[in-house]
Amino acid sequence: MKLRLHFVVDPMGWLCISVVFGIWLYNSIFVPKLVLLPHYNEGHIPWAIVVCYYIASALCFAALFRASTADPGRLPLDPHIPHSEREHWELCNKCNLMRPKRSHHCSRCGHCVRRMDHHCPWINNCVGEDNHWLFLQLCFYAQVLSLFTLVLDFCQYYYFQPLTQLDQEKFTTRHELALLRLSALMGVVMFGGMMSLFYTQMAGILSVS
């Protein structure tokens, strides 16, 4: 399985992946700074939770980078067609190249992709034979990070002890809207969306196999 770097020139895709990266950056910097690290410094939570959060964040970013830059299964301009498989190949009427069955032409990328599932603007790449498993990894790690963030938001207001080195009234005035509403909203949307997408993809793979 090849993992060649692959970049799609699509302004809309760049915008979408920038939004996803911004959400990841928000969860990786804002939440630890206001919730995770202050409570760890005062001994309210063990170091293992901090380490697990950053591991989940790193895995999520790595999966996003790999899924968005990996070659999804682009067909070469002069593909080698085994003689025994020629009857399973067909001519694409858009790029005029031979392609195996179950391949599709992506209008955004401008080429055919083996076993193309769909073009995902949120990773600015097609999801095909060579990066489908990376896309599933991204969905899974995004679920983990989103759920982790939701749990931290909940614990901040209903479970964690008050921070002694922080002015609670000032903290609530400045950060309650951003932390509780925005972070929780992003967590719910990302967790629900990624969970639905992940299990839909898995159901599709199992039904084909």
Q: Strand 104-106 to strand 98-100: parallel, antiparallel, or no bridges (unpaired)?
A: unpaired
* Total count of domains within the chain: 2
pLDDT in tens, 126-168: 888 888 889 888 888 888 888 888 887 777 776 766 666 655 5
107 with 155, same domain: the answer is: no
Q: Does the structure show a pLDDT above 60 at 169? A: no
- Buried-state track 73-90, b at ≥16 Cβ within 10 A, e below 16: bbbeeeeeeeeeeeeeee
Residue 195: is it exposed, middle or buried by C-beta count within 10 angstroms (0-12/13-18/19+)? middle
85 within domain boundaries: yes
pLDDT reported for residue 185: 67
137 with 61, same domain: the answer is: yes
> What are the residue numbers of the active site?
120
199 with 128, same domain: the answer is: yes
Crossing angle, helix 132-158 and helix 184-208, to 10 degrees? 150
Q: Does the structure show a pLDDT above 70 at 25? A: yes
pLDDT reported for residue 1: 44
49 with 143, same domain: the answer is: yes
Contact 119/127 with Cβ under 8 angstroms? Answer: yes
pLDDT in tens, 2-17: 456 666 777 888 888 8
pLDDT reported for residue 106: 85
81 with 54, same domain: the answer is: no
Containing structural domain, residue 149: 11-73+120-208
124 with 200, same domain: the answer is: yes
80 with 125, same domain: the answer is: no
44 with 126, same domain: the answer is: yes
pTM (2 d.p.)? 0.76
pLDDT reported for residue 206: 60
58 with 139, same domain: the answer is: yes
- End residue of a domain, out of 49, 84, 114: 114
